[in-house]
Amino acid sequence: MIKIVIPRDLPDEIIVWKARAEEITAEIIEAVTLEDKKRLITRYKNHWRNEDLVNWLSSLSDDKCWYTEAKFGGDNQEIEHFRPKGQVKDKDGNVHDDHDGYNWLAFDLDNYRLCKGRPNRRKSTFFPIIDERNRAISEEYDWRDETPLFLDPIEDEDPLFITFDENGIPAPEDELEDQDQRRVEFTIDKYFLDDTVLNRRRALTWSTCRELYYSYQHKMHEAKNAPNDRVRLRTEAKKDLETLKSLLMSDKEFSKVARCSIEKIGDRFARNLVSSI
């Protein structure tokens, strides 16, 4: 997971989409019964499947799932309602008795996250929060007062709480407060972030980055002691470094893993390299 930046200035097609979404939301709010609200959501569901919307959201993450950082390929991008539009489940999977879902946010752009199908289905309608007293139960309440148990990729701090090891396995960063550690663990579980295939692919990214880093260091060291071969060795070393830097860029698949693999080497050059990207 890396930070997803939502631009303030929206493209024209998204401005048009948002205007229609606001009209639909007004209809939902005006509907008297819960069943009427649900019928309206079903009637207009293709609006959040709009191709312009999906393509724009995908462009914000360089065509990567906002949670797994895996590239979209033959699988479809899915709009996830971060706050569920229907029922709400607590952390144990029990349906919230006093909450019928965030139906007024069903067409709210701020409530959309883009992900692959498996994490979306696994997350389902889970949405526990830290303090139930802050739960928004209607459009009259501010959902921004909630602290979700899920990490949110559009928040500045949340993506910083998760790290990876050499096996590609996600885990909480060191020295987190208990509450944030629980948030990381819950997010890993409910979005399938520790999927075996994902772990294997992330481990390959980790090892590739480490190999490039050590190859660069070795060739630069050898160049100092081989005056007749210095140009070749330095040229090859720089190629390794450029390849490594490209893997650290946010547009690359599993870039967070790549950054972790180099940061955890621990030397000053490694830290400076990551911070320079």
In a domain, 2, yes or no: no
Give the separation between CA 193 and CA 151, rounded to whole angstroms. Answer: 12
pLDDT of residue 74: 73
Rounded to whole angstroms, how far apart are CA atoms 101 and 136? 10
Distance CA 102, CA 114 (A): 18
Indicate if the pLDDT at residue 228 is higher than 90.
no
Residue 131 shares a structural domain with residue 214: no
CB–CB of 187/126 below 8 Å? no
**219 plus 139 within the same structural domain:** no
Q: Are 216 and 245 in contact (CB under 8 A)?
A: no
Could you tell me the residue range of the domain that residue 204 belongs to?
A: 196-276
Query: Is there a domain that residue 221 lies in?
Result: yes
Same-domain check for residues 47 and 128: yes
Residues 50 and 119 in one domain: yes
Among candidate residues 163, 190, 217, the one where a domain is terminated: 190
Instruction: Determine, yes or no, domain membership for 157.
Output: no
Using a cut of 0.75, tell me whether the model's pTM lies above it.
yes
Average pLDDT score over the chain: 97
Residue that terminates a domain, selected from 190, 218, 247: 190
Per the structure, how many domains does the chain have?
Answer: 2
Picking from 57, 101, 96, the residue whose alpha carbon sits closest to that of residue 79 is: 57
Residue 168 forms part of a structural domain: no
Q: Are residues 122 and 33 in the same domain?
A: yes
Q: Same domain for 25 and 111? A: yes
Residue 156 lies in a domain: no
Together in a domain, 130 and 207: no
Which of 132, 163, 190 is at the close of a domain? 190
Tens-digit pLDDT profile for residues 243-258: 999 999 999 999 999 9
Looking at residue 105, its pLDDT comes to: 99
Is 172 inside any structural domain? no
pLDDT band at 73 (very low <50, low <70, confident <90, very high): confident
Tell how far CA 101 is from the center of its chain.
23
Alpha-carbon gap, residue 181 to 187, rounded angstroms: 10
The answer on pLDDT for 75 being more than 80 is no
Residue 252 lies in a domain: yes
